[in-house]
């Protein structure tokens, strides 16, 4: 999930410039602050131009992550009413798939999403995640880092349901595999929640390969959520082929790689203390200088297709498999409009083959996450 802030495009165009033609009526999608009341009459379900299936779950081809709507990468706290406006405007533009987690905040992102979707709750698919050791009452992080004990899962879900102001979570993920709890025990807890109608589908985020197989055997999975983008192609080796084999959908987070693939970061960009990217090897000065070759490739294709660089990066993901649904995030209305339009960008077979070859010829430098965070990815669940 990427949080985008406004700078000048390297092509000389801002994202606003690229999208304003033909979108003069977009302001109609910006809901006035008075609309935030839950008492408003629910609008009709929007017309969605493109739908996809994650397993048996139908969602819009482009989803939206709300991870940074409580706090940007740059540490500012966004204006909450405007975040609600953006979510509602995304729905008006056909986005029906929204992603959050109890750990985001903790809790605050679920509250923002819960407030935003009240007028149209039954027309959207919402996800949340459990798995971190977070006190379900205070929100304080507890020792151990992770906790997928069945009883803790049930408490976490009860808290999520209250904050999301709903009676069910459409798709619930284990945020990270707990190395102390067999995945079969996790699946058992989810099955109970499904029987109670509190969870409709489940999935895993950043799991080990064998854990996917075991989880799916215990209780069929709907989706795997991993970082995947033009810059992070690791899932292509094992995870995506396994999803195809088992009929599981795939949801890429960080599909724009923390702004890298939008074309606004250049070799001279530096990040302030507290910014997530300041401690991420991929965004070090040396790595950025090297990785600009991928950014330049994207810009070339953006000019060729007469779209924004971010739209090329998102459309490329959509072109990989028909059951891939990216969830870009933003705290800027114009960027949401741009991201939502990426599904309309089409490549011919020759174009996607050409672009694929060019992307895969570039070796991206630097770890995708700080090492401490990366250590929680690809973990295998202990045997029962």
**Rounded distance between C-alpha atoms, residue 300 and residue 231, angstroms:** 16
β-bridge pairing 125-130 and 132-134: unpaired
**Rounded distance between C-alpha atoms, residue 327 and residue 163, angstroms:** 21
**Rounded distance between C-alpha atoms, residue 107 and residue 102, angstroms:** 5
The two three-digit tokens of residue 247, written as one number: 């009929």
**Rounded distance between C-alpha atoms, residue 59 and residue 279, angstroms:** 34
User: CB within 8 A of 222, min separation 6: which ones?
Assistant: 54, 55, 56, 57, 171, 201, 202, 203, 248, 249
**Rounded distance between C-alpha atoms, residue 241 and residue 227, angstroms:** 15
User: CB within 8 A of 293, min separation 6: which ones?
Assistant: 362
Classify 77 in phi/psi space as left (phi over 0), alpha (psi -120 to 50) or beta. Answer: beta
Do 141 and 133 meet the contact criterion of CB atoms below 8 Å apart? Answer: yes
**Rounded distance between C-alpha atoms, residue 60 and residue 325, angstroms:** 8
**Rounded distance between C-alpha atoms, residue 174 and residue 204, angstroms:** 5
Do 263 and 298 meet the contact criterion of CB atoms below 8 Å apart? Answer: yes
Is 104 annotated in the active site? yes
158 SS3 class: helix
Classify the C-alpha dihedral 191-157-165-339 as positive or negative. Answer: negative
Written as one string, the DSSP assignment of 352-370 is HHHHHHHHHTSPPPS-SS-
Q: Give the active site residue among 73, 91, 104, 173.
A: 104
- E strands, the chain, are 51-54, 57-60, 64-65, 97-99, 125-130, 132-134, 141-146, 169-174, 199-205, 223-227, 249-253
Residues noted as catalytic: 104
């Amino acid at each position: 999930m990427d949080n985008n802030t406004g700078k000048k495009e390297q092509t000389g165009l801002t994202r606003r410039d690229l999208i304003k033609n033909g979108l003069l009526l977009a302001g109609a999608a910006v809901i006035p602050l008075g609309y935030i009341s839950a008492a408003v009459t629910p609008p009709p379900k929007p017309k969605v131009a493109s739908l996809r299936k994650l397993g048996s779950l139908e969602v819009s081809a482009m989803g939206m992550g709300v991870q940074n709507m409580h706090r940007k990468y740059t540490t500012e706290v966004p204006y909450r009413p405007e975040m609600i406006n953006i979510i509602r405007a995304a729905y008006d533009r056909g986005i029906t798939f929204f992603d959050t987690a109890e750990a985001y905040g903790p809790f605050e992102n679920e509250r923002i999403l819960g407030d935003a979707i009240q007028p149209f709750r039954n027309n959207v698919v919402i996800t949340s995640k459990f798995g971190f050791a977070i006190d379900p009452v205070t929100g304080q992080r507890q020792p151990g880092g992770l906790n997928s004990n069945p009883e803790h899962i049930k408490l976490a879900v009860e808290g999520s349901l209250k904050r999301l102001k709903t009676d069910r979570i459409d798709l619930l993920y284990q945020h990270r595999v707990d190395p102390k709890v067999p995945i079969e025990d996790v699946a058992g807890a989810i099955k109970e929640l499904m029987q109670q109608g509190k969870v409709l589908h489940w999935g895993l985020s950043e799991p080990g390969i064998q854990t996917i197989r075991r989880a799916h055997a215990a209780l069929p999975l709907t989706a795997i959520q991993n970082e995947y983008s033009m810059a992070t192609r690791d899932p292509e080796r094992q995870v995506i082929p396994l999803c195809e084999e088992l009929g599981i959908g795939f949801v890429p987070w960080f599909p724009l790689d923390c702004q890298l693939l939008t074309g606004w970061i250049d070799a001279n960009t530096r990040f302030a203390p507290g910014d997530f990217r300041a401690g991420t090897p991929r965004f070090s000065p040396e790595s950025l200088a090297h990785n600009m070759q991928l950014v330049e490739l994207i810009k070339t294709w953006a000019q060729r297709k007469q779209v924004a660089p971010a739209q090329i990066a998102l459309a490329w993901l959509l072109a990989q498999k028909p059951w891939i649904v990216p969830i870009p995030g933003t705290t800027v209305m114009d960027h949401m409009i741009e991201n939502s339009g990426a599904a309309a960008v089409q490549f011919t077979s020759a174009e996607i083959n050409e672009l694929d070859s060019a992307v895969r010829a570039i070796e991206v430098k630097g770890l995708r996450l700080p090492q401490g965070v990366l250590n929680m990815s690809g973990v295998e669940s202990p045997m029962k």
